[in-house]
Structure 1
Amino acid sequence: MKLSLLDRSRNRVGLPDAEALEATVARAVHAEQVGYDRFWVAEHHAVPGIASGTPAVLLAAIGARTDRIRIGSGGVMLPLHQPLVVAEQFLVLDALHPGRVDLGLGRSLGFTPPVRRALRRDHEDGDTFEDDLEELRGYLEGTAEVTARPSTGRPVPMHVLATGRGLEVASRLGLPVVVGGPVLESAELPDALARYRRGFRPHRGSEPRVTVSLDVLVSDDDATGRELALPEAWAMARSRQTGEFPPLESIRAVREESWPSQVRRRVEASLDRAVAGSPATVRRRLDALAEATGADELLASGSTPDRDALLASDLMLADLLR
C-alpha cells in the first residue's frame, strides 16, 4: 500500500491554536523527509480541539515548505461551498505546486446546531452532493460553461470520502474513495467495496481505487502505543458526553480524570479500534486490513499530545511499510 498521513491540526490543552498549525506544517516536512506519499489536512468548523477549518489555506503553507510530497484535503466539505470557489482554490494550489495537489471531498456539515446555523446549513436543501461533484469536476477539467482560473491544463485529482452512499456515488462517477470511521468498521464493508469495484464507471481511464483511513500509532511496545492513543480516545468519549470535541490533554492528566463507566467503555472501545502498539502488532493488523479491503493506500490519522512521540510514530510506520 501507498502510505499517507492525515493531520487534523489537533489543539493541545494550554497551547495556542497557532501552535497546532505550526506543528501540522512541521509534521508535513518530516513526512516528506521519511518517505510518505501524501499529506492531507481536514476541514472542521468552530471545534475547540481543532485549529484549522480551511484546508486550502493550510495546504498553501505546507506546499511552500515541502518539495515533493503530494498534499491534499481529507476533505473539503462540498455542501458548505460553491463548486466554482473550491475549483479556484485548488487550481491556485496546483499552479503553485504543480502536480502535487489532491482534492478529497466529503459531505458532512457542522458539528453542532449553532455551527450549522453559522454555516447557513441549518435547513434541508436536499442532497446535491453527486451533482456538485460533477459540476466541480467540470471546472477542474475545463469542460464547464465557465472556465475556472488559473487554467493549468491538468485536472486536480478528486477523491470521495465515502460516508453513507458515497461509495455508490464514487462508483458511478468513476472516482477513488477514502473509507474510514463507521464505514470502515461496518461488517458490510467487503460487500460494499465489491459493489464499488464491480459497478465502477471509468472516467477518462480511471480505475477503482480504495484508501483506508484510521488512527495508527506505533511505539516500542503495545502498552506504550495504547497510551499514546489514549488522549484522542478520551477526547472522543468526552465529546459524546458534552457535545464539544476538546483539545488533547496529556496522558497523565487523562489518567487523573474521573472516569464515569460510560466514558470508560467508550474510551476502551476507541482504543480497541485504533491500530496502536509495537511494530509487529501494527504490521499484523494492517496486513489483515489490507487483505480484507484490498486497499491501495493507508491514510494514517493518529494523534497524541506528545509531538516528539508522534513524529517518532510516523517514522516507525514509514519504516514498517517500506
Structure 2
Amino acid sequence: MRLSVLDRSHVGRGLSPQQALRDTVRFAQQVEDLGYHRFWVAEHHSVPGVAGAAPTVLAAAVAAATSRIRAGTGGVMLPNHQPLVVAEQFGVLGSLFPDRIDVGLGRSVGFTDGIRRALGRGKEDADRFGEQLAELLTYLDGRQSAGVHAVPAEGLDLPVFLLATGSGASTAAEFGLPLVIAAAHGDDRMIRTIEQYRADFRPSAQASEPYVVLARSIAVAGSTERAERLLVPEAWATAYSRTHGEFPPLESPEQVLAREMSDRQRAQFERALRGHLFGTPDEVAAGLAELVARTGADEVLVTTTAHDPADRLDSYRLLSELSPAG
C-alpha cells in the first residue's frame, strides 16, 4: 500500500505564514526520509490559518528541496485559473523535476463572495469544470487548442489526478483519471461513489484502469488518548470557522480544551472530531487495513494536522512503520 502526504501549511497561533511555508518544505524532506510516495500541497485563499495559497510555487520549493518523493498539488482549483496557465506552470515543474510531478486538480472556487470577486470568478465558474479540464488535458497531451501550444508541457509525463467534490468522481471516470476521494459524507457514501467510479471508468492516455487514492486524516501516538489530542487543534479551528466564517491559526490542545465554548461551538467541535482514524500503531493498523479492504484503495493520502510539528512527524513516523510505502 502506497502512503502519501497532503500538507496544507497550517499556521500555528503566534507563528507567521512565512514560517508555516518553510515548515512545509522541511516537513517534505522529513517524510521523504520516511519513505512516503508523494507530497502534495493545497490551494486556499485568504485563510488566516492556512498559508498555502500558490500550490504550484510551493510544489516547486518542495521538489527543489527533495530528491525522490513525488511533488504535486492536492490540488490546484481549476475554476480559479486559465487552463493554459495551469498547463504551462506544470510544464515548467515537469521540465525542472522530470518524472516527479503530479497534477492534482479540484473544482472549488473561492470560499466567499469577496474572495471570488478578488479572483475574478463566480460560483458559476465551477459549472465549466468539465470544459476547462478537457482544454487542460488537450494542452498536456500535446494537441493544439485553437492553435495554442502549452510550452513546455507538451510531451512530458505529468500524471493528472482529480479530487472528488460533488460530481468529481463521475468526471474522473468520464475522463479516465485517477480519483482522489475523502469520506466527507461518511464511509458508506464514499464506498458507493468509488464503486460507481470503477463501473463508469473509461480508459484514457492518463490511466488504463481505475486508480483510487483515499484521502484520510490519521493520527498515531503511543496511546489512544494522545492520538485523539492531536486532532483537537484542527477540530476547534473547523468549529470556529463554521460559527465565525474564518479558519483561524491552530491553538495547542491545552488552549482549546481550556476554552469556554457555546453549545453550538461545542456541538461543532465534537462533530469535527469524528471521522478520523486515530489511535495506537496497532489500532491504526487494524483500522487502516479494514478501510483499504472495504474501499479497495490503491493508495492512502494522509493528512495529520497537529499543533506541534514534532508530534506530527512522530505520527507519520509511526504510520510509516506499519506498512511499506512506495
After superposition, give the CA deviation of every residue in 1:164-206 in whole Å (9 maximum; x if it has no partner): 11111110110011001515x2533222211211111100252
Q: Which residue of 1 aligns with 2:129?
A: 129
Q: Distance in 2 between matches of 1:181 and 1:17?
A: 28
Counterpart in the other structure of 1:224: 226
Deviation at 1:215, TM superposition (A): 1.0
SS in 2 for 1:127: helix
Q: Residue type of the partner of 1:106?
A: G
Q: Over aligned residue pairs, what C-alpha RMSD do you find?
A: 1.4
- Measure, in 2, the Cα distance between the counterparts of 1:281 and 1:112: 39
Quote how far apart the aligned CAs of 1:238 are.
0.7
Q: CA deviation at 1:271?
A: 1.9
Structure 1 Cα separation of the partners of residues 240 and 79 of structure 2: 27
Shift of the 121–51 alpha-carbon distance from structure 1 to 2, 3 Å rule, reads: same
Structure-2 separation of matches of 1:186 and 1:261: 27
Indicate yes or no: 2:323 matched with 1:321: yes
- The aligned runs of 1:248-259 (5 Å cut-off) are 248-259=250-261
Contact 1:179/1:213 (8 A) holds in 2? yes
Counterpart of 2:69 in structure 1 is 69
The match for 2:210 is 208
Secondary structure of the structure 2 residue equivalent to 1:321: coil
Question: Using the alignment, how far apart are the partners of 2:107 and 2:247 within structure 1?
Answer: 19
CA distance in 2, matches of 1:93, 1:33: 22
SS in 1 for 2:171: helix
1:188 aligns with 2:192: no
Partner of 2:103: 103
Q: Secondary structure at the match of 1:154?
A: coil
What is the alpha-carbon distance in structure 1 between the residues aligned to residue 130 and residue 291 of structure 2? 28
| Deviations 1:128-161 (CA, angstroms, capped at 9, x unpaired) | 1111111101111111232211146323111010
| Aligned counterparts of 1:125 and 1:53: Cα–Cα separation in 2 | 19
CA distance in 1, matches of 2:188, 2:13: 36
Question: 8 Å contact 2:102–2:159 — kept in the other structure?
Answer: yes
In structure 2, how many angstroms separate the alpha carbons of the residues matched to 1:279 and 1:172? 38
- 1:282–1:141: structure 2 CA closer, same or farther, 3 Å change rule? same
Q: In percent, how many aligned pairs have the same letter?
A: 46
TM-score by length of 1: 0.96
Give the Cα–Cα distance (whole angstroms) in 1 for the partners of residues 210 and 269 of structure 2: 35
Whole-angstrom distance in 2 between the partners of 1:159 and 1:104: 5
- Mapped contact 1:141–1:155 kept (Cα < 8 A): no
Correspondence for 1:173: 175
* Alignment equivalent of 1:312, drawn from 308, 311, 314: 314
Q: Matched residues in 2 for 1:320 and 1:265: separation?
A: 33
Runs of 4+ in 1 over 6 A off after TM superposition: none
Distance 2:126 2:279 in 1: 43
Contact 1:135 1:144 in 2 (8 A): no
Equivalences for residues 240-251 of structure 1 within 5 A? 240-251=242-253
| Residue 102 of structure 1, CA deviation | 0.3
In structure 1, stretches of 5+ residues that fail to align are none
> What is the rounded CA distance, in whole Å, between the counterparts of 2:125 and 2:56 in structure 1?
25
**Cα offset, 1:121, TM superposition:** 1.9
Q: 1:263 aligns with which of 246, 265, 282?
A: 265
In the alignment, what sits opposite 1:50? Answer: 50
Name the residue aligned to 1:22: 22
Give SS of 1:308's match. Answer: helix
Instruction: Return the letter of the residue paired with 1:118.
Output: A
Note the alpha carbon deviations across 1:95-135, whole angstroms, 9 max, x for none: 11100000110011112221112112235347111111111
* Separation of aligned partners in 2, 1:259 and 1:299: 32
From the superposition, tell whether residues 257 and 281 of structure 1 become closer, same or farther in structure 2 (CA, over 3 Å). Answer: same
CA distance in 1, matches of 2:28, 2:258: 32
Alpha-carbon spacing, 1:88–1:259, altered in 2? closer, same or farther (3 Å): same
Deviation, structure 1 residue 272:
2.5
Partner amino acid, structure 2, of 1:165: S
Tell me the equivalent position of 1:302: 304
- Once the two structures are superposed, what CA deviation does each residue of 1:8-35 show, in whole Å capped at 9, x if it has no partner? 0000111111110011001100111010
Does the Cα contact within 8 Å between 1:13 and 1:247 map onto a contact in 2? yes
